[in-house]
Structure 1
Amino acid sequence: RSACLDFLFQYTSIADNVETLALDADVQNLVKQLSDLLLYNAKKEVPKMPKPRPSEPHYDSESSAHVPRLCQDVIESLLQFAEPDRSSRWLRMCFEIDPDSEMTQIHLWQSYQATFLKYSQTHANLIAGEFIKNVSNTFTGASAQVANSKYVIKGIRPRKIAHDVDGKELVKCCWRTNPTDVPQEHITIFANESGKECGEFFSNGPKVWEHILSSHLQVPKKAPITANGDAPQPPQSTSKVAAFDFAAADSSLSYSCKWSSCPRQISGDHNLPVGLALLARHINTHLPDSGPLAEQRRQNQHNSKEVEDPVPSNRVWHRTMADERNDAAGLPLGSALVLRNIARGVRKMAHSANGAAATAAAVEEKAHPTGEDEQHPRDGEDDETAVAMPESPVPASAELMKKIFDPIREKLFFAMAHNPTLKDHLTAVLCAISNGGG
Structure 2
Amino acid sequence: MAPARGPGGKDTLVHEIDRTPEYNDFIQKLTAFHEKRGTSFEPEPRLPTMHGHVNVDLYKLYKAVLDKGGYDELNKVQKAWGALAGELGMHYTDNKGMGQLSFQLKQDFYRYLAAYWIHDQYGRDPPPKEILEQQSCASKHGPVLTRTMENFKLSARRLGEETPTREERPAESTPTSANRASGRLREAPPQRVPFQPDTGPSRQTRHVSSHHNTPTSNATQNNYHGNQAQQNHHHLPQQHNPNNPLHVIQAQQAALRGASSSFTPASSEMASRLGDPFEPRPPTSMPLRPVNTPGNNPAEFAKRQRLLKAQASGFGNLPAIARPVLPPAGYEGPNIYTRCLQALRSGIPAEQAFALNHLVKISFERGDKYKFDSFLGLAEGLIEKALEVGSLFYEVDWQISYSGCHDNSNPNILDGLEGTPDILDRIRNLTPKVILDHLQPADLSDRLLHITEAVLTMRNMLMLTDNVKYMVEVYPLRDLLCIILHLPSLEMLVEIKHFALDIAEQVTPLLLLDSSDPLYQTLLAQLDSTDRGTILTALRAISRISMNLEATNKLQGVPAVVLQNIMNWLLLNDEELMDACLDFLYQYTAVVANVESLLEAVNMENVIPHLVRLLAHGAKRVKEEKILEPERKALCTEDVPPLPLDLHEKLRNTDEPTRCFQWLKILFEEDAESHITQIAIWQAYQGSFGALAGVRSNLSAADFIRNVSHVFANARAQIIRGPGEVQRFIIEGIRARTVPSHYETREEYTRCQWQITKGPFPKPCSQFFLGGEQMWHHVLTSHLNIPIDESGKIKNKEVTMSCDWAECIRYTTPRKLKLAELTRHIKTHVPFTHKRPQQDGPELAAKRQRKSYITPAKTMSITWEKTVVASDERKPNVEQAAGIPLSAVLVLRNIARNVVKTESEEELLKSQEMGGESGGWNEKLFRPVMARLFEVMAENKALAGYITSLLQLVQTVD
Q: Under a length normalisation based on structure 2, what TM-score does the superposition of the two structures give?
A: 0.23
Q: Under a length normalisation based on structure 1, what TM-score does the superposition of the two structures give?
A: 0.47
Structure number, greater radius of gyration: 2
